[in-house]
Amino acid sequence: MLNYQKDGEVAVIHIDDGKANAINHTFIEELTEALERSRNEASAVALFGRPGRFSAGFDLSVVGDGGTAAQTLVAAGGRMLKTIYSHPQPLVIGCTGHAIAAGGLILLAADSRIGAAGDFKIGLNETTIGAVLPRFALALADDRLSKRHHTAAIIQAHLYDPIGAVDAGFLDLVVEPNALTEDTLAEASRLAELPSAAYAGNKIALRTPFIERMA
């Protein structure tokens, strides 16, 4: 599912399950391990999905029944998102396509988000599927989404195209698909040159109030 490589000082992570990149326990374990590895081997992270699909969110075959297995997976996903959000290194996402529900939350947890232009949907659709966002999701949304979009994005489950996702706060920039890899790696390489202790210290200082709300 996950491929880890080095490009200079950047840990390059590609997630591709051949389908929708649904978040299951394998996804969570492999991404968490890759981020831990990057702390020892790299100075920044570039994270990509598969062509056309970044992530469709939690695996509905697990969370659909709302039972113990669903609760366990969502809790593990919350811990993964907290790990991403508090990762001390610069973490840049190249959003390769659709990013729905928890896929959108991964965007909110990253530092810089560059999206591929195209007919893609990005957002939090939990209200549409009859779900209430957990505390960790609301903390991320409160921090990273534009206040103007809180009602539409969080309560009304609005799904954005990539340009709209920039205005809402899911993305920072949209580029042509053939430029996504190069531009994402360039941004990660640029951020890797910043003093690492200061970067980590300022990130944690700024995000601590929201990290505490994710518990």
Give the tens place of pLDDT for each residue, 144-195: 999 999 999 999 999 999 999 999 999 999 999 999 999 999 999 999 999 9
Ordered structural domains, the chain, with CATH: 2-213 (3.90.226.10)
Give the tens place of pLDDT for each residue, 49-77: 999 999 999 999 998 877 999 999 999 99
Q: Distance between CA atoms of 198 and 60, rounded to whole angstroms?
A: 40
Q: Distance between CA atoms of 170 and 145, rounded to whole angstroms?
A: 7
- Does the structure show a pLDDT above 80 at 98? yes
Give the per-residue pLDDT at 135: 97
Give the per-residue pLDDT at 66: 78
Of 63, 56, 44, 138, nearest in space to 95 by CA: 56
Inter-CA distances, 150 with 16, 39, 105, 157, 163, Å: 30, 33, 14, 10, 17
- Does the structure show a pLDDT above 90 at 215? no
Give the tens place of pLDDT for each residue, 102-140: 999 999 999 999 999 999 999 999 999 999 999 999 999
Ranges 19-23, 61-65, 188-192, 211-215: which has the least confidence = 61-65
**Predicted TM-score of the model (pTM):** 0.98
Give the per-residue pLDDT at 164: 98
